[in-house]
A = this chain, B = another copy of it.
Amino acid sequence: MLAEIISVGDELLTGISVNSNAAFIGEKLAGLGFDVHWITTVGDNEEDIINALGQAYNRASLVILTGGLGPTHDDITKKVVSQFFDSEMVFREEILKKIEKLFQKMGRKMSPPNRGQAEVPEKAEIIENGIGTAPGLAFKREGRTFFILPGVPAEMRRMMEKSILPILRKMGSGRITRSKILRTVGIPESDLYQLIKDFPDRFPEIKLSFLPQAPGVLVRMVVSGLSVEACEESLALGGDMIREKAVRFIYGEGNASLENVLANYLFDRKLTIGVAESCTGGLISHKLTNVAGSSGYFNRGIVAYSNEAKIEILRVPEEILLKHGAVSPETAVAMAEGVKRISETDIGLSTTGIAGPGGATPTKPVGLVFMGYADEKRSFSEKYLFGKDRMWNKERSAVYALNLVRRVLLGYV
């Protein structure tokens, strides 16, 4: 069944906000077997919203629109959608009661603009918001279903989970499509393609695509078939072939994140880790603690930005810093050993490098990063040369450091 997403909001057109709502909805719909084939983004502008609604109406059976339901004067979606579906506006006392109750619960006074949010199109079914003041709307006509939701991500997500997805699960998609994603890190897209270039000949029924992303390249397989079992068998065989060729680059499947995968290895082996960060500035600790329950393996992280911090907390010998500099294999190893020792963990991990834009020397360019690893048996460092962009250097350094631990635990290093 064809589905479309319409995102409304000036902030999406001018880059003030990134359209994460469409990504969230697309993922949920695809997971239920809907064929999301078109996403339209328009501003808070009557004519464009009407045109976007009209196009989606002609192409798709399911449309989810978000944005422009707020209490302020620039939010016009409700009015425009009512017009599109030839519906009068009515004031619904029970919605006002819910909004008033919500304000009570938050211990805040309701502002007058929120009163207008109890006015809704007569022809719409109401979808409860729960955490915000704007109710959602559902319209049905000529076999099409339109859901209109607020653009505030937390509200939209909750309404999708609580109200919309249960309805969509019942609607079903009428055909069987299954997909599988293998997530890689540490290999460029064209090299990966080269490794598995026989795939399309061996599995002509599977649509294969490559998606370069922040930590690495995702390989996605999509197959349609007569039964769930047939689809899943096909994907399993395809997945086996890719694993056979590229196993050491594949860290997980589906929505797995590198930090979650690593967390599971650490949990399974009952290992603990301490982290000493210089150029990544806390990002590795942040990633590791994004995992619920991370206190089970993560003990502490030291962001040792200054030389003093490296000496005082991590006990990096001053001679090493003087002789080799803060950005050196020797310092990386001493930091990893230091954090392992002071936190009494099984593993110590460190980064030291030049994130940029400043700090480069003739022999140490921006993007140069050393990673240190220490466990009971050995300590060593790895050298990387990333790019010129500070944020990108921090992100890649953090990912490669986590991958270093993964590679050690799997015996690849």
Chain A interfacial positions (CB closer than 8 Å to B):
9-20, 22-28, 30, 36-45, 48, 55, 70-74, 108, 111-114, 131, 133, 152, 154, 179, 181, 188-191, 193-194, 197, 200, 207-213, 218, 220, 275, 277, 280-286, 288-290, 292-295, 298-306, 308-309, 312-313, 342-343, 355-358, 387, 389-392, 394
Beta-carbon contact of B15 and A23 below 8 Å: yes
Q: A343 contacts which chain B residues (CB < 8 A)?
A: 309
Query: Within the complex, which residue of B39, B71, B190, B342 is in contact with A12, where a contact is CB–CB below 8 Å?
Result: B39
- Closest 9 pairs between A and B when the two form their complex, measured CB to CB: A15-B27, A281-B289, A282-B285, A301-B303, A282-B282, A300-B309, A39-B41, A14-B30, A282-B286
**Given the contacts A37-B43, A190-B133, A282-B285, A302 and B300 also touching, CB distance less than 8 Å:** yes
Q: Give me 20 A-to-B residue pairs in the complex whose CB atoms sit less than 8 angstroms apart, sorted by A's number.
A: A13-B26, A13-B39, A16-B218, A17-B211, A22-B41, A37-B48, A38-B48, A70-B189, A72-B193, A74-B210, A154-B392, A281-B294, A282-B288, A290-B390, A290-B391, A290-B394, A292-B390, A300-B302, A301-B303, A302-B313
In the bound complex, CA of A28 to CA of B15 (Å): 8
Q: A312 contacts which chain B residues (CB < 8 A)?
A: 342
Q: Is the interface of A mostly helix, strand, loop or mixed?
A: mixed
Query: Within the complex, which residue of B26, B41, B283 is in contact with A282, where a contact is CB–CB below 8 Å?
Result: B283
Beta-carbon contact of A282 and B301 below 8 Å: yes
Please give the distance in Å from A258's CB to the nearest CB on chain B.
Answer: 15
Beta-carbon contact of B358 and A293 below 8 Å: yes
Query: Within the complex, which residue of B40, B111, B306 is in contact with A299, where a contact is CB–CB below 8 Å?
Result: B306
Q: A37 contacts which chain B residues (CB < 8 A)?
A: 13, 42-43, 45, 48
Please give the distance in Å from A99's CB to the nearest CB on chain B.
Answer: 10
Smallest CB-CB separation from A157: which chain B residue? B389
Beta-carbon contact of B16 and A189 below 8 Å: no
**Given the contacts A13-B36, A17-B213, A26-B13, A282 and B294 also touching, CB distance less than 8 Å:** no
Q: A209 contacts which chain B residues (CB < 8 A)?
A: 10-11, 44, 72, 74
Q: A389 contacts which chain B residues (CB < 8 A)?
A: 154
In the bound complex, CA of A113 to CA of B337 (Å): 44
Please give the distance in Å from A152's CB to the nearest CB on chain B.
Answer: 5
Q: A288 contacts which chain B residues (CB < 8 A)?
A: 281-282
Beta-carbon contact of A18 and B20 below 8 Å: yes
Give 12 new A-B contacts, CB below 8 A, not counting A133-B190, A289-B303. Answer: A14-B30, A16-B27, A16-B218, A18-B18, A40-B40, A113-B194, A154-B387, A281-B290, A282-B288, A285-B285, A290-B390, A300-B304
Beta-carbon contact of A152 and B212 below 8 Å: yes
Q: A18 contacts which chain B residues (CB < 8 A)?
A: 18-20, 23
In the bound complex, CA of A379 to CA of B258 (Å): 39
In the bound complex, CA of A38 to CA of B181 (Å): 30
Q: A390 contacts which chain B residues (CB < 8 A)?
A: 290, 292
In the bound complex, CA of A212 to CA of B304 (Å): 35
Beta-carbon contact of B74 and A207 below 8 Å: yes
In the bound complex, CA of A17 to CA of B24 (Å): 10
